[in-house]
Amino acid sequence: MNVLVFASRKGGSGKSTLAAHLASYIANPSRPTLLIDNDPQGSLSLWHKIRDQEYLGLRHNVRNIGEALKEAKREGYEWVLVDTPPNKSSIVAESIKHATLVIVPTRASLFDIAALQDTVAIARELRKPYAAVINAAPPKHGDTEAHVVADARGALNALQVPVWAGQITHRPELTLSLSTGEGAREYDADSQGAEEIGRLWTALERSLNAIHNTYKKAGASRAA
């Protein structure tokens, strides 16, 4: 079972937005998916209610993540996406503890990158794979990132924080699609927002495959 945890101490970083858009890519009859919404704002729960999709489940205000994940596995879920509160509470640490991969959304700002370091510290302490995703970014000029995005990427590299090579640009279709219970691809498959979310999903699939291969090799080494 793949457990994606969306975590950031900074409110407004885009955890719920990215979780919803990625859930729209992942969830289908052959990939039953569960959302766990532990963000007090409840944005992911609202999107799920509007969407009303049979093979996309929801739990909210879950206090025992470990037990919830065991139950999800028994119920046949293959993917779980966990939206966490914007703080460094015990529920965030517990979620990260059970993550296959931790996704840390961040805007290209000093405050966001400063706040991100608490989340990164938890992931490092628990030895969990993690990556930052630059979200709500200003648009590129051709293939050139805006200066503020390039500066943010440089700061993340200096902190030795793995960061996705792309960006999620602030685009209207990313907001409008959620208001109808859709993801960007469903709302407008030809939009730039859908393309960017698709690239992120492709990168996450590659990362998850690499993570699982690493675990398999480690297990084989222990068995030898």
- The predicted pLDDT at position 126 comes to 98
2-223, which class in CATH? alpha beta
pLDDT of 100 strictly over 70: yes
pLDDT tens sequence across 37-72: 999 999 999 999 999 888 999 999 999 999 999 999
- The domain limits of the chain are 2-223
The residue-averaged pLDDT of 115-144 equals 97
pLDDT of 219 strictly over 90: no
Say whether pTM exceeds 0.85: yes
pLDDT tens sequence across 158-176: 999 999 999 999 999 999 9
The sign one gets for the Cα dihedral 61, 66, 71, 76 is positive
Residue 156 contacts residue 132 (beta carbons within 8 Å): yes
